[in-house]
Homo-oligomer: A and B are copies of this chain.
Amino acid sequence: PLKLLAKINEIAMQTKNIVKDDPRKLIHSLKVGLAITLVSLFYYFQPLYSSFGVSAMWAVMTVVVVFEFSVGATLGKGLNRGLATFAAGALGLGAHHLAGITGKTCEPILIGLFVFLQAVASTFIRFFPKVKARYDYGMLIFILTFCFVSISGYRSDEILDLAQKRLSTILIGASTCLIVSILVCPVWAGEDLHLLVSRNIEKLGNFLEGFADECFRKSDMAEITNGRSSSLVGLNGVLDSKSSEETLANFARWEPCHGKFMYRHPWKQYLKIGTLTRQCACRVEALNGYLNSKSQAKQEIRRIIQDPFFSMSSEAGKALKDLAIAIQTMSKPSSPNPHIANLKIASQNLKSLLKSDLWYQHTDLLEVAAVASLLIDTVILVENISDAVNELSS
């Protein structure tokens, strides 16, 4: 029983964390409950029930299956389901009719053949990359409905009535989802993508800004390591954000105009900025690896490139944070960006420092040069991000 209690406690903690992390998840759960309750009214009220009958259940099922976290995903799934049901229903009726005119013996064989061919073709089409990305669910529903209509037709004479009822209940379910999803605290995939991209840039900026301070100025190493390891988790989050950005961009394309975003907002540009951010984060992570390594060269490196390192990483951090704010507020970033200009100068200084004879006396040349070249790379990527953000704002 103690174990059980601990388990329950753990689940409660997890629940609390999820809600604290993103209260919209709790709201989404309530929205799903609301939508299901709304459509189930068709079952409870006699006048509504008498017009749809048992088919009303399809409205409930549609809500359960179609209701997704963001408006874009719900809209995409709803449209997929509605259109696929309509198309497959019409084709299924056609197949049923065609098989019917050949007579009673041939009918099941012909229907079986149609179902087989359709299933093979549709399943194969799902492997096309473009179809897989946007219409996978629609293809599934297409197979489902075609089988349902054409096979049912063999046993039921009211097939037309059945198909029509099913389609209308699915439309009711899908529109209930959409209305609840848009009217009650809507979650827009486009907005999420917008925030995710700008927050990733901000995280990277914070990391870079804190970099110089923590690695070069302070003395208490243990404390630093703790602070860094938590912000390193943030950095890893940036590195792993590719698939979530792509998913959000895919959903965002379905969304109508909302808030500050138009219907055809340049979502692809966000993906481009995201990719550059990840490349930059990759360099910063490598930099972090060099500076945290236990090698004796560390002291050496620090002494030599302390000043350029400090100014470059803090300027890069500030430049990134400016860009993040520019994205968030959808304003044009100040141009020419003063931090970027400073970065270019610092980068030149570092290069000439490396070419000077001054530091040939030091033995751990290799690591110094590696750190320096990573820094210079980082600066180039920051400039690229700045260009991409400028392009987005124009």
Which A residues form the contact surface with B (CB < 8 A)?
Answer: 14-15, 18, 25-26, 28-30, 32-34, 36-37, 40, 43-44, 49, 54, 57, 60-61, 64-65, 108, 111-112, 115-117, 119-121, 123-124, 127-128, 140, 143-144, 147-148, 151-152, 154-156, 243, 282, 351, 354-355, 360, 363, 365-370, 372-374, 376
Contact = CB atoms under 8 A, between A and B. Distances in A.
A123 B355 contact: no
A16 B152 CA distance: 34
Given A18-B127, A124-B25, A147-B64, A115 B40 contact: yes
Contacts of A360: 360
Contacts of A44: 108, 111-112, 154
A116 B148 CA distance: 29
B148 A60 contact: yes
25 contacts: A28-B123, A29-B121, A29-B124, A30-B120, A32-B119, A33-B115, A33-B120, A37-B119, A40-B112, A40-B115, A43-B155, A49-B155, A64-B119, A64-B143, A65-B140, A282-B282, A355-B363, A355-B366, A365-B365, A366-B372, A367-B373, A369-B370, A369-B373, A370-B373, A370-B374
A152 B154 CA distance: 25
Given A25-B124, A64-B140, A128-B14, A36 B365 contact: no
Given A14-B128, A120-B30, A123-B28, A40 B366 contact: no
A26 B124 CA distance: 6
Nearest to A11: B128
A33 B119 contact: yes
Among A121, A124, A372, the most chain B Cβ lie within 10 Å of the Cβ of: A124
A363 B374 CA distance: 18
Closest 8 CB pairs of A and B: A369-B369, A370-B373, A33-B120, A29-B123, A29-B124, A44-B108, A33-B119, A33-B116
A32 B120 contact: yes
Contacts of A152: 43, 54, 57
A279 B369 CA distance: 21
A31 to B, nearest CB: 9
Nearest to A144: B64
